[in-house]
Structures are given as structure tokens and as C-alpha cells.
Structure 1
Amino acid sequence: MPSINWYPGHMAKSRRMLLEQLRAVDAVIELVDARAPLATRNPDLLSLTRSKARLVILNKADLADDQQTSRWLEYFRRRGSEAMRFNSNGGRVKEMLGRIEQATRPVAQRYLQKGVKKTIRVMVLGIPNVGKSTFINRINGATIAKTSDRPGVTRAKQWVKIGPYLEMLDTPGMLPPRLDDQEGARLLAYLGSVRDQILDTEDLAAGLLARLMELCPDLTRRRFKLPEDLVPEYPEALLEAACKGRGWLLSGGRCDTERAAALVLDEFRAGKVGKITLERPEDSHA
């Protein structure tokens, strides 16, 4: 698969905006995708916000393997980060607000010691399409922050008042300026955090099928009706087999690989293949 890189001009502008806002922020909530918690972290954001109180949210946990999510939570906690799983489409809001209060309590206490009852301002960070706006809307109980399943929709800062003493800042999704880890970049592409329009989606879908066959062969065979005895010599053979299994064919029985690629990616991203985690804690070098 060709190298993946995507850093549109608005991301550089977003980085400058983030730096300007940091002084007004008391804590950060970092959203990662529970299906690839390391690949969906931006090291640049980590370094910029290192001095702030932090809560890591493994979002879209309903799409990830529950056991692997528990292992990832332990991974983050062992490294000193408060972490929690969440499903922005139906997560436990009261528990989430409690964890936010817990993470920001030292900041609030410092203000109280000075005799100040101050609104705590929290910045919500993450890469494109990790679910920041949906998360804020879920916590707030109303549709305020603009959402989409396409990366790069939030372009401007949006302060959202959650309660009398809590405000959240929705920020545009930011990728690192360079995606040096191409394995991680592929995971971002599988999840939809890089625009499909800049990629060869047939190569991408074939690579995803190969990955799924390694991680969960039974689920993958069942969803895409792959032969039990299929031993593909190359990823493209998996995409062709999925075409035949699911009937994605053109006239004359030719494989409609363009349509197949779009559907394979869409069905995985929507969780229709199953609850699947693409990364394991043991794969980390940290």
C-alpha cells in the first residue's frame, strides 16, 4: 500500500488556535478510538498539553472488543493516565461527569483555596473522526456541537456550557504533521480518520480484510461469506472473494471491487463485522 499522509492547511491553523486557548483551559479530555487506542493518539497534542490535568476516553467502546478495552484501560492507568471507556451514542453520562469532576478536582480545590468558585474549562482533544462533537453533545444532552462521520468537520472553536461550573471546548481534529508510523497510519485509514478520497480504497479494503482475517477469521468469513478453505496469497484475493461471496458483481460475473471496497470499509466502521480491536497493548513499544 502506498504511504499515507494527510495534513490539510486547516490543521496548522487549528494547532495555532489550540496554543492560544491553552492558557484559558484547566484540563483536557483526550478522546481515542477504543479500536486502536495508540494509533488514534496524536503525540503532538500530548506534548502541547502535558502540564494539564488529563482524562483519556476510549470512545466508541461499543465497537471494540470488551476484553481488549479492559486491557487498554489498564495500560493507560499503569502509565499514570486516568482512563475510561465510553460510547457516545449511549454512554453513562453521570459516570462520565463524575470522572471529569474527579480529574479536575485538584484544579477546583486550588481555586476554592483562593476563595474563588470558578467555572472549570476543559478542552476536548483528538484526531479527526474520533467522536469529539458527538461526545460533547451526549454529555450536554443536546445537539450543539456540529457532528459528522467524515474527518475534518469541526473547524472553529466551540465552547459548550455543560453545567453551572463546567464548560467544554470542542476543537478541530488534528493529526500529526507527519505520519511516520505507516502501520499506525493504515489503522487510521481503516477507521476513517484519514479521508478516503486521498487513498486507493481498494488497496485499503484489501489490507483491512487481511488484518481482520488475522484477528478474527471466523467473524470475517461469516460477514463476507468467504470460503472456509480460502488461503489467499495476497490481500486483493480476499477482496475478490468477498465480491463473489456477497454478490458484488458486474455483468459477466466480474468483481465490482470498487463497490466492494466501499462496503467493506463502511461495514467495519459501523461495527457490522463484530466488536473488533485492531491494536493490542503488547504491540506497544512503550
Structure 2
Amino acid sequence: MPRINWFPGHMKKTQREIKENLKVVDAVIEIRDARIPRSSANPDIDKICGNKARIILLNKSDLSEAKVTKMWIDKLSSENVKAIEVNCLTGKGLNQIRPTLDLIFKEKHDRLKEKGLVKIQMRVMVVGIPNVGKSTFINKMAKNNIAKTGDRPGVTKNKQWIKTKMDIEMLDTPGVLWPKFEDEETALNLAFTGAIKDEIMDREELAYNLVKRLQEHYPDNLKERYKIEEINEDPLETLNSIARRRGCLIKGGEIDYDRISTVILDEFRAGKIGNISLERP
């Protein structure tokens, strides 16, 4: 697979925006895909955010393997960065965000409460690569109450602050990928989960690589989902068996690779092959 390399102008602009907006927020909420916590982390975010308080939401945790996600939570959490397992679609885990922010800012909030401030409004910036569920998160937090909350000093007029019922104001940023993927595994993981558009990938090669990965780590899931009796050493043979079981054939009984590739990728993304984590800490 060739090294995917891109950096459209809007991504550069987003990076600049993130840097500027850091000055007006208390913390950053970074959304990642629980199935690929390493690959779905934009390495530039670490550099840009520096010591800024941050919460990492491992979204789509309903699709990942629970015990692996727990391992990631432990690995990613530190004094200034906390990780939470969430499902932005159902709202599971989102109620932990405010208590986590209060924990990070405990000393500051205690001082404010001593001065008589009862209600402490917090401001966060939401960041994440494309297709990790940023819009779903924002809509869930705002309960579809996407509204500007007025211009603030030092905030340019085109910034949209979104109110939530947790006394948190959120600032959205466009989903941004980074200049280049140095290793093939990261590119594949992002493509498997749909963060890279299928149009720029070879779907058949992608499905083959996914089967190869799944038969190595989740052979039973493949057997159960596709009712195949054995996993062949050659991933292509496994793919062929799946295609035959699913009737993805063309004239003369040949394999319809285009069709079976679509089936496998769509079913993996929808969680139909089971709870799968493509990365371990």
C-alpha cells in the first residue's frame, strides 16, 4: 500500500485555529475511536495542546473489546489528561465529563467556591480526526440545542459556542488529519474504521487486509459471523470462503470481490463481526 500523504490547506487552517482558541478555553476534549486509540490520535494535538488540561473520550466503545478499552483508559490517563470510555450515540459515559473536569480543576474550583461562586461555567474545545463521532458528541451534549451563546471578550465573532446542561460551553473545530502516516498500520486502521474515505482506497485490498488482521486476532468472530468451518492460513482463501457462504459470486461461480469487500467492511464498521479492538496498549 503506498504511503498516503496529504495536507490540504483547510487542515493547516484548523491547526492554526486550534492554537489560537487554546487561549480562551479551560480544557480540550479530544475524541478518539475506542477500536484504534493510537491511530485515531492526531499526533499534532499533543504538540499543540502541550500542558493544557485534556479529556480523551474513547468513543464507539460499544464496538471495541471491553477489557482492551479498559487497558487503554489506564494507559492514557495521567494527572493532566483523563480518558473516559463513551458511546456518543447513546450518551453512555458522557455524564462523567463534568466530574472529571472538576477533578482536574479541583484546587482552582475550591478557591472560586471559597469566594462565593456557586456555579462555575467551563469552556472546552472539541477536537478529533474525521469520523470519530465529533458531531454526534456535540449534538448529544447540547441535546440538539446548538446555539451561539454570545460573543465573549477576546473571541472572534465567527466562533460558535455551544451550551450544554452541564455548565460547559463547547467550541467545535473541524475534523483534521495530519500531514502523513509514517506507518502502514495506522493508515490501514483509519481506513478500516472509515476515517479515510473509501474512494481513495482500494476496497478489495482493504477487505483482504482486514480479514488478515481478524483471522490473526479474532478467528472465532469470523467463523461465527460467516459460518465458515475453518480459517485458512492464506487470508485470500478465508475471504473466498466468506464470499461463497454469502453468495457473492459472478457468472461461472467466480468470486465477486467488489461485493464481498463491501460486505466485510460495512459489517465490521457496524460491529456485526463482534467487539473488536485493532490496537492494544
TM bracket, shorter-chain basis: 0.7 to 0.9
Moved more, 47-56 or 73-82: 73-82
Residue 128 of structure 1: SS of its match in structure 2? Answer: coil
Please report the RMSD computed on the Cα atoms of aligned residues, expressed in angstroms.
2.5
1:81 has 2:74 as partner: no
* Counterpart for residue 68 of structure 1: 68
* Counterpart for residue 180 of structure 1: 182
Counterparts of 2:87 and 2:166, CA distance in 1: 24
Counterparts of 1:71 and 1:180, CA distance in 2: 25
* Counterpart for residue 95 of structure 2: 94
- 1:65 Cα deviation after fit: 0.5
* Counterpart for residue 155 of structure 2: none
Counterparts of 2:233 and 2:125, CA distance in 1: 46
* Counterpart for residue 274 of structure 1: 274
Residue 168 of structure 1: SS of its match in structure 2? Answer: strand
1:79/1:100 CA distance change after superposition, 3 Å: closer
- 1:268 Cα deviation after fit: 0.4
1:42-99 per-residue CA deviation (whole Å, 9 max, x = no partner) reads 1101110122111111111110111111111111236863111011122144333322
* Counterpart for residue 284 of structure 1: none
Counterparts of 1:13 and 1:107, CA distance in 2: 32
* Counterpart for residue 226 of structure 1: 228
- Are the counterparts in 2 of residues 54 and 81 from structure 1 also a CA contact under 8 Å? yes
Residue 173 of structure 1: SS of its match in structure 2? Answer: coil
* Counterpart for residue 19 of structure 2: 19
- 1:111 Cα deviation after fit: 6.0
* Counterpart for residue 52 of structure 2: 52
Residue 46 of structure 1: SS of its match in structure 2? Answer: helix
Counterparts of 1:276 and 1:130, CA distance in 2: 16
- Are the counterparts in 1 of residues 146 and 163 from structure 2 also a CA contact under 8 Å? no
* Counterpart for residue 215 of structure 1: 217
Counterparts of 1:273 and 1:118, CA distance in 2: 44
- 1:169 Cα deviation after fit: 1.4
1:3-22 per-residue CA deviation (whole Å, 9 max, x = no partner) reads 33343332222112222212
Q: Of 141, 144, 151, which residue of structure 2 is paired with 1:142?
A: 144
Q: Which consecutive residues of structure 1, in runs of 5 or more, have no partner in the other structure?
A: 146-155, 282-286
Counterparts of 2:137 and 2:3, CA distance in 1: 31
One-letter identity of the residue aligned with 2:268 = F
Equivalence map 1:116-127=2 (5 Å): 119-127=121-129
- 1:108 Cα deviation after fit: 4.5
1:174-208 per-residue CA deviation (whole Å, 9 max, x = no partner) reads 11211112211211111111111101010011000
One-letter identity of the residue aligned with 2:42 = N
Counterparts of 1:263 and 1:99, CA distance in 2: 39
Residue 50 of structure 2: SS of its match in structure 1? Answer: coil
- Are the counterparts in 2 of residues 158 and 171 from structure 1 also a CA contact under 8 Å? no
1:7 has 2:29 as partner: no
1:123-164 per-residue CA deviation (whole Å, 9 max, x = no partner) reads 11111111111112222222749xxxxxxxxxx964211137
Residue 63 of structure 1: SS of its match in structure 2? Answer: coil
1:189 has 2:191 as partner: yes
Residue 135 of structure 1: SS of its match in structure 2? Answer: helix
Counterparts of 1:75 and 1:58, CA distance in 2: 12
Q: Which consecutive residues of structure 2, in runs of 5 or more, have no partner in the other structure?
A: 148-157
Identity of aligned pairs, percent?
43
* Counterpart for residue 37 of structure 1: 37
Moved more, 31-40 or 111-120: 111-120
- Are the counterparts in 2 of residues 108 and 120 from structure 1 also a CA contact under 8 Å? no
The number of residues matched between the two structures is 269
1:43/1:231 CA distance change after superposition, 3 Å: same
One-letter identity of the residue aligned with 1:213 = Q
* Counterpart for residue 256 of structure 2: 256
Moved more, 103-112 or 268-277: 103-112
